[in-house]
Amino acid sequence: MTYGTLANVKQRLNLDGNEDNRVTRAITQADALIDQELKPYTTVPLNPAPQTIKDIADDWAAGIVYDEVTNPTSQNPPPNVFTQRAKEMLCRYVAVNYSVPCPFEKQLATSGGGGTPAPMIPGPDPVLYEQMVNNY
């Protein structure tokens, strides 16, 4: 059982095309990254997973797909809104549930995030993203 869902990730990216394999791989990767961060504090995978973890997985998977399409040759793409939001939410989740510092504190500090909640940032332009996916 995965935390993220195909439908939620595709909705975040405004996808309705044939991207299921790419999105499914990204969901698997996002789930593994979440489990890696939570493993020091609890048994993983979480079952049942709280809604917060499901939302984090959907955002992180959307960020992975977005990076694959917009930065296909970059090994270290700049932070995108989806990945940034997922890491900030995971920081809050870990801090609240396990009373430990944010596992991404250094990363978020250098990318505009940090210990305080970030304002909601609008996602990528769905029309532009759809054009990029179709031209990929």
Q: Which domain holds residue 115?
A: 6-130
Count of structural domains, the chain: 1
User: 106 pLDDT band (50/70/90 cuts)?
Assistant: low
- Which range, of 57-61, 106-110, 132-136, averages the lowest pLDDT? 132-136
Residue % of the chain over a pLDDT of 70: 75
Q: Is residue 135 part of a domain?
A: no
pLDDT for the residue 104: 67
Dihedral (CA of 71, 28, 123, 12) sign: positive
Classify residue 116: in a domain, yes or no. Answer: yes
Say how far apart CA 99 and CA 95 lie, in whole Å.
5
**Residue 133 pLDDT > 70:** no
Q: Is residue 72 part of a domain?
A: yes
The pLDDT assigned to 90 comes to: 94
Residue 136: inside a domain: no
